[in-house]
Structure 1
Amino acid sequence: MPPEQPHGTPPAKQRSAVLVGVLIGVLVFALIGLVVVGAKVISNALDQDDASAERPSPSASPKEPLPATDPKLAAYYDQKLSWRGCGSNDCATLQVPLDYAKPAGEKVGIAVLKVPAGDRSERVGSLVVNPGGPGGSGVQFAAAGKYQFGNDLADHFDIVGFDPRGVGRSDPITCGGTSELDELMAMDPDPDDEAERDRMTALTRQFGNSCVAGSGDLVQHISTQEAARDMDILRAALGEPKLDYFGFSYGTYLGATYAELFPTNVGRFVLDGAVDPSLSNAELSLEQARGFETALRAYVKDCVDDDGCILGSTVDQGTARIRELLDQLEKEPLPTGGDRELTEGLGMMGIWLPLYAKERWPDLTDALTQAIEDDRGDDLLALADLYASRGDDGYTDNSMAALLAVNCLDHGDSIATEAVPAEFAKFEAASPTFGRAFAFSLSTCSSWPVKPVEPELALTAKGAPPIVVIGTTRDPATPLVWAQALAAQLDSGQLITRDGDGHTGFRQGSECVDDAVQGWLVSGRVPKPDLKCGP
């Protein structure tokens, strides 16, 4: 399956917002806009961390510690966050146990960033946010503040983001180097013969072994259930009796897991771009393949409706031309302005990324035109690099490594690479363009050296208050049927459906969605049952 990336964008039953994929998955950090618009905000908010470390925080942890649910965890629940200034925001480090079965053992540091509420007189509380992934930085996500969440939420809440264990500014996992990850990202996503399949297996195993070597015991303790337990310690450290939470893409799985483990601690929850936690890896991958094909066809229709579309005059012609380009890249990668070529794997990622946000469709048209007319891969490579957080000097974070490592801890129903061809027929029926690549995602974790240990949970969150779930009709990474299923599985699920394109629903142009979300989070006004919204 493709990866997840900005939402924010999984697991013997795949739980992620975007399933683990041959190319390490399509990280869905749900809002691609975070990468582009939020970048300047993030750099301003975070890069000044050390320079302003002594600035006092405008708010502090409670003087009276909240009780721990387990006496052995009391020291963690009783901790007070020591806030320091980082730009215009506040940063702290939360301590959690590496292994919840051994709370007296080694600790893990969790990076936390808070954007204080813009209107302190109208402050509702803390809103903890997660952008997706797994592997997305909640610290960077929160730092975008009102640019990401809008004035209403930013005025009424302290926006609080954290980098989950193993990710970013928290104690991170370390896996290989730039060349190793480059090789993994560029490999053939749909190998044709035994030799190519063996190479895929070997590269994944080699990368996994580098994570074990570079990260020690940490790589065994970065599951979604452990991250959800960390969130409850964060809730207590923030002084909140209930957790208000906004999760996107994979963040919906994280949020639903929290709600299952701590239903009486759930406050106002919104899960946008939802994952269906009841499905197997194969079922999730198949539905996601269908979702990306649907999104691709929506893009192609938009292109061919204008004169001069490089892809032809019909949707079928356009999708066939894209598949032809990918086949050509497999045989002969295209040159770029640097020393890296555009392979089929990188080309596929470059096509996937713009499908997350309709405003990026013109970028995809330009990139495809360059590849088809000029035999150059510069623009598609740039899109693929944006997807994978790769800069000129290497990868700017460990999101792709964390994506793969978390996914393979969360579920254990991978199949052997040699068994994948038996799945081709149904995957190609779901997605003629990308089907085989999604089929091979079924085998990714079979060669990963760290196996799941957490028991699987049925996520019903019995006893929790209403939980708002949002799905979008042509969402490529988290298809609408997943949101429908999650809302039905949760005892108190409330579904909002956005009829539109792109990944997730909030602040994607639908006033109906935005008003419902803001009304629920700020005022506690539960949305109308089965609310349907326009684009």
Structure 2
Amino acid sequence: MALTTSQVSTKRKALLFALATATVATAVAASPAAASPAAGPGTPKAGTTRPTTPGLDWHDCQAGLDGTHDGMPGGTECATLAVPLDYGKPDGRTVGIAVSRIRSDKPTARRGTLLVIPGGPGSSGVDRLARKGEALRKETGGTYDLVSFDPRGVGDSTRADCKLGADDLEPAHLRSWPRADGDIGDSVARSRRIAEACARNGGEVMRSLTTANEVRDIESLRRALGEEKLSAWAISYGTYVGAVYAQKYPERTDRWVLDSSGDPDPGRVARGWLANMSAAADDRFPDFARWAAAPERDAKHRVAARAEDVRPLFLSLAKRLDGVPERSADGKGQLTGNRLRMVMQQALYSDAAFEQFAALVVTARDAGGKPVPYELPSVSSADATVNMAVVCNDVHWPRSVPEYARDVRADRIRHPLTAGMPVSVTPCAFWKDRPAGKPTRITSDGPSNVLMVQSLRDPATPYRGALKMREAFGERARMVGVDAGGHGVYLGNAARAGEDSKRAGACADRAVTTFLTTGQRPASDTLCTTAGTESK
């Protein structure tokens, strides 16, 4: 089954630990510091003069574009920012951070700069601004210059490469799916091999790939832009980056939007995000089951006659496919149980992926036991490197293989959809370099200028984890929950979902846009319902 170009891109960039979350009550000023243009020194004002940008040599991105950022709005500018490889050695070697900008087209309405913080780890902010820039400019009405960046290790920024082999770059291998009987021996061997390759080939740049350095790079970018404060829209893993920035530089934040957040527990960080995906898949799968059993589906996409039959059918099919080898005798890829589970887990990110996933399930269901040809798009070694390096460099991971095996056995029973993968061993268990410092603890110390927006049935960053982020921020934050499924809320899944989810998504979009353009947040945490009505 062929994948569309957009789905190939999504799978390529989602990578190993892809992260991912009713209607808004009457908005009130979040706090004087957050909502009033006159609140305190350094607060941006509408109509402010655009600052100079020392250290950034802007040029038209379209020049020599070569299709890398297709769809980039006309007039988008690009530049490269030099930042220290090691902030402890500010006069030493530098790395380049690719930056893009869409200027406000209404100077009298301009408040400042809105930074789009990408997810991943490993996603390109330049690509995201290319895809979302026009919609974001329309929503914010010229309130901001829109800026984003490729984090170090990503896209057009300075790269690192562990030089991983083709077999290790198979997506269903990068994620440590256990064997049919739950054995993790293959994953242990692969994880150890990947960690050794990174130690051997990754170099200084790979060792510098951390959340802490991305936060420092954002602060360097703020200074280069000449802005006293930044506003931000952070997505998925980017919400953790944004939260850490807000903790480290609270006086430099203006209006701060965190879209689809994970649990910021400093003792686990990415290990906790990955483990949470087991229950998150359980939360989200019923949305697909209802879609795939709807009477209006045609024969190619109707998985079962009743929604309650879709899950057992999927589990039975995956179990049967566990007996299929990954390659046929002539070397061609075949659909296995873990490849089917991998596609399922990724398809839950967006309703737009349901149709193709359902078609694959129907094809396998009706194959009569015959192998189904199937290839997952490969991930580049450099993309895999940045994703692994950030999560392995950020926090200590357990070293005990028996501990991982025990966790897998228990998780497979509790959450059979994901078959133990989210708690399985990863290269971080064998990582050679230990984290230089402890992860940042998010607290309630700072201005009340954070708005969180979160789907109730997010398959990557589940609602229960976002509640932990909300709790950590205390009165600094308000959260808008959305009675919908999928990963990413603002300007995202609502346009591609069913009518009920569209209403909930539109409600959330209004809340975020209102905050970004006026500084007003809901008076309390709220829920955007499928009816589109306001509810506490």
Q: Shorter chain as normaliser: what TM range?
A: 0.7 to 0.9
Q: Which amino acid aligns with 1:191?
A: R
- Structure 2 contact 172–339 (Cα < 8 Å) conserved: yes
Structure 2 CA distance for aligned equivalents of residues 264 and 109 of structure 1: 26
Alignment counterpart, residue 363 of structure 1, candidates 344, 352, 356: 356
Q: Any residues of structure 2 matched to 1:408-487 within 5 Å, and which? A: 408-424=392-408, 426-441=410-425, 443-460=426-443, 462-487=445-470
Q: Which amino acid aligns with 2:442?
A: L
Compute the displacement of 1:485 (Å). Answer: 1.8
Q: Tell me the number of residue pairs that the alignment of Structure 1 and Structure 2 aligns.
A: 462
- Residue 235 of structure 1 corresponds to 222
Compute the displacement of 1:132 (Å). Answer: 0.7
Alignment counterpart, residue 304 of structure 1, candidates 288, 293, 300: 293
Structure 1 CA distance for aligned equivalents of residues 19 and 135 of structure 2: 18
Q: Any residues of structure 2 matched to 1:190-229 within 5 Å, and which? A: 190-191=178-179, 197-229=184-216
Structure 1 CA distance for aligned equivalents of residues 79 and 365 of structure 2: 49
- Structure 2 contact 133–146 (Cα < 8 Å) conserved: no
What SS does the corresponding residue of 2:451 show, helix, strand or coil?
Answer: strand
Alignment counterpart, residue 17 of structure 2, candidates 8, 25, 37: 25
Q: Structure 1 residues 27, 462: closer, same or farther in 2, change over 3 A? A: closer
Q: Structure 1 residues 435, 156: closer, same or farther in 2, change over 3 A? A: same
Q: Which amino acid aligns with 1:371?
A: A
Q: Structure 1 residues 6, 339: closer, same or farther in 2, change over 3 A? A: closer
Q: Any residues of structure 2 matched to 1:34-73 within 5 Å, and which? A: 62=52
Deviates more, 1:97-106 or 1:132-141: 97-106
Structure 1 CA distance for aligned equivalents of residues 135 and 191 of structure 2: 34
In proportion to residue count, which structure has more helix? 1
What SS does the corresponding residue of 2:488 show, helix, strand or coil?
Answer: coil
Compute the displacement of 1:335 (Å). Answer: 6.8
Alignment counterpart, residue 479 of structure 2, candidates 467, 487, 495: 495
- Residue 123 of structure 1 corresponds to 110
Compute the displacement of 1:154 (Å). Answer: 6.5
- Residue 61 of structure 2 corresponds to 86
Measured against aligned partners, the alpha-carbon deviations of 1:37-60 in whole angstroms (never above 9, x if no partner) come to: xxxxxxxxxxxxxxxxxxxxxx98
Q: Which amino acid aligns with 1:342?
A: L
Q: Any residues of structure 2 matched to 1:368-387 within 5 Å, and which? A: 368-374=361-367, 375=370, 377=372, 381=375, 384-385=376-377
Deviates more, 1:258-267 or 1:209-218: 209-218
What SS does the corresponding residue of 1:142 show, helix, strand or coil?
Answer: helix
Q: Structure 1 residues 289, 489: closer, same or farther in 2, change over 3 A? A: same
Compute the displacement of 1:524 (Å). Answer: 1.3
Alignment counterpart, residue 407 of structure 1, candidates 391, 395, 398: 391
Deviates more, 1:352-361 or 1:117-126: 117-126
Q: Structure 1 residues 132, 103: closer, same or farther in 2, change over 3 A? A: same
Check if 1:98 corresponds to 2:85. Answer: yes
Alignment counterpart, residue 289 of structure 1, candidates 263, 278, 297: 278
Q: Structure 1 residues 468, 377: closer, same or farther in 2, change over 3 A? A: farther
What SS does the corresponding residue of 2:166 show, helix, strand or coil?
Answer: helix
What SS does the corresponding residue of 1:526 show, helix, strand or coil?
Answer: strand
Structure 2 CA distance for aligned equivalents of residues 529 and 244 of structure 1: 21
* Root mean square deviation, CA, Å: 3.0
- Structure 1 contact 6–131 (Cα < 8 Å) conserved: no
Compute the displacement of 1:363 (Å). Answer: 1.5
Q: Which amino acid aligns with 1:26?
A: A
Compute the displacement of 1:177 (Å). Answer: 4.7
- Residue 263 of structure 1 corresponds to 250
Off by >6 Å, runs of 4+ in structure 1: 334-338
Q: Structure 1 residues 413, 186: closer, same or farther in 2, change over 3 A? A: closer
Q: Which amino acid aligns with 1:317?
A: D
Alignment counterpart, residue 231 of structure 2, candidates 215, 230, 244: 244
Q: Which amino acid aligns with 2:61?
A: C
Q: Which amino acid aligns with 1:490?
A: F
- Structure 2 contact 457–486 (Cα < 8 Å) conserved: yes
Quick one: percent identity of the two aligned structures?
A: 26
Deviates more, 1:99-108 or 1:452-461: 452-461
- Structure 1 contact 420–440 (Cα < 8 Å) conserved: yes
- Structure 1 contact 519–525 (Cα < 8 Å) conserved: yes
Structure 2 CA distance for aligned equivalents of residues 129 and 122 of structure 1: 19
- Residue 37 of structure 1 corresponds to none
- Residue 534 of structure 1 corresponds to 529
Alignment counterpart, residue 114 of structure 1, candidates 95, 101, 110: 101
Deviates more, 1:307-316 or 1:445-454: 307-316
Q: Structure 1 residues 180, 317: closer, same or farther in 2, change over 3 A? A: same
TM-score (norm 2): 0.78
Structure 2 CA distance for aligned equivalents of residues 473 and 235 of structure 1: 33
Q: Structure 1 residues 484, 197: closer, same or farther in 2, change over 3 A? A: closer
- Residue 339 of structure 1 corresponds to 332
What SS does the corresponding residue of 2:154 show, helix, strand or coil?
Answer: coil
Structure 2 CA distance for aligned equivalents of residues 238 and 461 of structure 1: 28
